Chains A and B, each alone.
Chain A
Amino acid sequence: MAEQARFDQMGYYDPEKLVRVDTTLPSTGWMDTPVAIRPGTYIYPVKPKHLEYLGMPFARQWAPADPDWKLPPNWKEIILDGIRERLDRFRSFKLFMDICVRCGACADKCHFFIGGGDPKNMPVLRAELIRSIYRRDFTVAGKLLGRMAGARELTPEVVKEWFYYFFQCTECRRCSVFCPYGIDTAEITMIGRELLNLLGIGINWILEPVANCYRTGNHLGIQPHGLKDTLEFFAEDIETVTGVKVNVPINKKGADILFVTPSGDFLADPGTFTCMGYLMLFHELGLNYTWSTYASEGGNFGLFTSHETMKRLNAKIYAEAKRLGVKWIMGGECGHMWRVLHQYMDTMNGPADFLEVPVSPITGTRFEHARSTKMIHIVEFTADLIKHGKLKLDPSKNDRIKVTFHDSCNPARAMGILEEPRYVIKSVCNHFHEMPANTIREKTFCCGGGAGLGTDENMEMRLRGGLPRGNAVKHVRDAFGVNHLAAMCAIDRATLAPVCEFWAPGVRVTGIHELVANALIMKGQTERTLNLRQEPLGEEAGETAHE
């Protein structure tokens, strides 16, 4: 009967047959599951001209979806030599290759794994992609026992796998928090990317900004006159909103403070409003500071490329501080910039013995923790101002805003700036609500677009990675009516806007100093009725904002 039945007859659905249908995936081991590289699943490769400009090797046209990636003839030797060199140079890398016991504590902590479910995005397995090569070529057990010891041969497929997965890690280090050995998977990703760069394999969204930064001083390639126009344009908008014409000091020799911020704040909403906030704050304080058209980038995509590239891009900050003769340096609201400045700058391009330990000219506070780097974060500076009562603030101006705070991975998890941003936000906003404890502070979930992944061709990948963060934002939106998410990182301000729009519609992204500026009472201001976005300020709101 079953054989003769039509699809709309009962007999067509033979229950016996149906239960035999196997809907499980074929279970091959990870080494035997090759990566499927399809358009829409990868970030576009670097254009040859950028590699040439930077003097990086093997510039060529190639496409990730092509079977042949046009690897140089001795590509294998280059990679193995590259690993050998890095094992000698970086003790951390050697340790991380050897000490993992595969306990799995990190496995379910990665936002890409949580959102996407691909086991190779488990940090332990992502690291195994390199470790398996290390075992085979650099350990006796691996040489003798091969697969039994978790070793495998280096093939072009392995290189493709590295490209796919090392550009699906945002180097956020959430996994490291849970590793009992303290293995920093971000550093493994960094080495993986360095090795790929040796073969001319990188992504355009990182290396074009790197080339721009090397050429013009910032990732976006804004030239000096362009930067001047932009800041003056902001000043005009500020005058419209406040009636106050703010100073825009640029390349001012003899200023006390050099101010450096990520260039995303110059061009991209909503970072632009945060940038206006800096201008207003410094003007109100009468601070003797300067912007620079040379050191016009706080971010450093060299961090996502190689240690050498990071050093080259970072060098301009101390060089400019020296040229202008400032006393110390202040950084704007940026995430990975802070890791570079705090963790690497001093040893890469220091000592900055021509600078002074930062002292706030307004409060007299001496920032001892920065006595070596001579650079502080603006949120530390502003928190200190508020603590000493040096700002006239009217938090009710932000009463339309119910805000939560996203701890950016680098300032929070890597550098421990946890309290200052909260203190500042609570001082300028009456409605603040934390997200759940396992999604903030050192356990914060990444935006999904850090470490150079914030481009648009991988939007689905970013939204997968952004799911855990978006899910927590949705929770505070539904529970407390939160309508704004504050973040002190330029990449966050760009990448969390899509994450919120997709997972928690109605929640807008803001920088902290945008909120400060809205609440700031300036000398000589007209009655403030508009915020920096030129929307109504004040109390009567209640409605959820829509982008």
Chain B
Amino acid sequence: MTLESLLLEKRADIVRGWIDRTLALFPASTGVFLRTTEDRFDNPVGEAIFSHMGPLFDALLENAPREAVEPHLDPIVQIRSIQDCSASEALSFVFLLKDVLRQEAGDALHDSRGEPLREFDGRIDRLALLAFDRFIGFKQKVYEIRIKEIKNSVSTLLKMSNLTCDDPK
């Protein structure tokens, strides 16, 4: 049995474990809220975690290209980029998958030769690097928005003084 087929067999347990561990990054009472509030508009953070972590795992299994991973990575990373935590805390959810894999598929993994797992760990590491890129991208967006807001707040003064210059694009 290949590692992929083993992980596919245990997909439900792995994704559940990954979500559980991710929710445990939040304070306990917040974790309960994120888990139990079903409406996507009342609970956008929980919605992002529950609806995107499964497909994100599938993308890893398929070794999908960046373009297929980002739609499921972005919603989670974007939220983490503006929450009150350090960058390492924000992105630690990616690495939690390594723990979960070993917990959920540990016995079978002992029997395998290690090579496939190391290859899969590599995919998780690449996911972490991609998450880092996206995280920085969202942070940069925050700072661009800050600058734009400052300009907008005095736009009349800038226009009256002929001090505006926009990207011709």
Contacts and interface: CB of A to CB of B under 8 A. Distances in A.
B145 A9 contact: no
Contact of B96 (A8, A23, A119): A23
Q: Is the interface of A mostly helix, strand, loop or mixed?
A: helix
Contacts of B83: 115-117, 464
A33 B167 CA distance: 47
Interface in B149-168: 149-150, 152-157, 159-160
Given A25-B28, A115-B83, 19 more contacts: A15-B102, A19-B102, A23-B92, A25-B25, A107-B33, A108-B33, A114-B45, A115-B44, A117-B45, A119-B30, A230-B160, A267-B154, A267-B156, A270-B152, A456-B150, A467-B82, A498-B149, A502-B78, A547-B148
Contact of B82 (A13, A266, A460): A460
B154 A25 contact: no
A468 B41 contact: yes
Interface in B95-152: 96, 98-99, 102-103, 106, 109-110, 113-114, 117-118, 138, 141-143, 145-146, 148-150, 152
A15 B33 contact: no
Given A119-B27, A464-B83, A498 B145 contact: yes
A497 B33 contact: no
A108 B141 CA distance: 28
B62 to A, nearest CB: 23
Contacts of A463: 82, 142, 145
A79 to B, nearest CB: 26
Contact of B42 (A438, A461, A501): A438
Interface string A95-131: 0000000000001100001111111001000000000
Interface of B: 21, 24-30, 33-34, 37, 39-45, 78-79, 82-84, 92, 96, 98-99, 102-103, 106, 109-110, 113-114, 117-118, 138, 141-143, 145-146, 148-150, 152-157, 159-160
A187 interface: no
13 contacts: A19-B102, A19-B106, A114-B43, A229-B160, A268-B156, A270-B152, A272-B156, A439-B41, A459-B145, A461-B84, A468-B41, A498-B145, A503-B78
A13 B160 contact: no
Q: Return the 9 tightest CB-CB contacts between A and B, nearest first.
A: A10-B114, A15-B106, A117-B30, A471-B44, A269-B155, A15-B102, A463-B82, A498-B145, A460-B82
A349 interface: no
Contacts of A501: 141, 145, 148
A498 B42 CA distance: 21
Contacts, number: 151
A165 B148 CA distance: 27
A122 B37 CA distance: 15
Given A10-B114, A436-B41, A267 B84 contact: no
A15 B146 contact: no
A74 interface: no
B166 to A, nearest CB: 11
B103 A18 contact: yes
Contacts of B118: 8, 10
Contacts of B24: 23-25
Interface string A273-294: 0000000000000000000000
A494 B152 contact: yes
Contacts of A439: 41
Contacts of B82: 115, 460, 463-464, 467, 502
B157 to A, nearest CB: 7
Interface string A37-70: 0000100000000000000000000000000000
B149 A494 contact: yes
A472 interface: yes
Interface in A18-33: 18-19, 21, 23-25, 27
A360 to B, nearest CB: 30
B107 to A, nearest CB: 8
Contact of A467 (B45, B154, B159, B160): B45
B103 A15 contact: yes
B53 to A, nearest CB: 15
Interface in A488-511: 494, 497-498, 501-503
Nearest to B152: A269
A9 B114 contact: yes
Contacts of A13: 98, 102, 117
A498 B148 CA distance: 9
Interface in A217-249: 229-230, 233
